[in-house]
Amino acid sequence: MSSPAQIRSHEPVPVRDSPRTAALYLTGSREGFAQAREFTQRTLDCWSLERRTDDAITVVTELAANAVLHGLAHASTDDFHVRLRLTLRRAHLVCAVTDPSDSLPVHARTADALLEHGRGLHIIEALSEHWGWTRRPPVGKTVWAMLATHSRPDPDPIQDT
């Protein structure tokens, strides 16, 4: 039996791009994940957000992996796909991934730091200011994360007196 990542073969297609929103349909393949990372990097370069690229790519990769692993695996038809949307707001970059599953994101509770799976939402939580999910009627959900676009001031260095 093939994995969910091998089932989807349609090409990623950009959707409804605007100066402050960019979206891409993703395939559930290694190529699809690479395209999502490249798409995120190009978009952030256009928006002059190079300083947020590493965190955004990590968040997008985790969101997309969760959507493919949990969302597409339970889709009853090939008509569903995963959509990545990047939105630039005044103070935040919103990274959102929509999938056809009604199952809510699960924040794994494990003390084993060596486990291969189960840390995605912990990573998203660590890199973003806020994250959450929204149901998409009639079916599906969007999981999103907000990354600050402004630079945070460094804490005051400890001064020797």
Q: Contacts from 31-37 at CB under 8 Å and sequence distance 24+?
A: 32/8, 32/64, 32/68, 33/61, 33/64, 33/65, 36/12, 36/60, 36/61, 36/64, 36/84, 37/61
Which pLDDT band holds residue 109 (cuts at 50, 70, 90)?
low
Task: Give dist(CA 70, CA 68) in Å, integer.
Answer: 6
Q: Say if residue 144's pLDDT is above 60.
A: yes
Share of the chain above pLDDT 70, in %: 67
- Model's pTM, two decimal places? 0.75
Instruction: Of 14-28, 29-43, 63-77, 107-121, give the range with the top mean pLDDT.
Output: 29-43
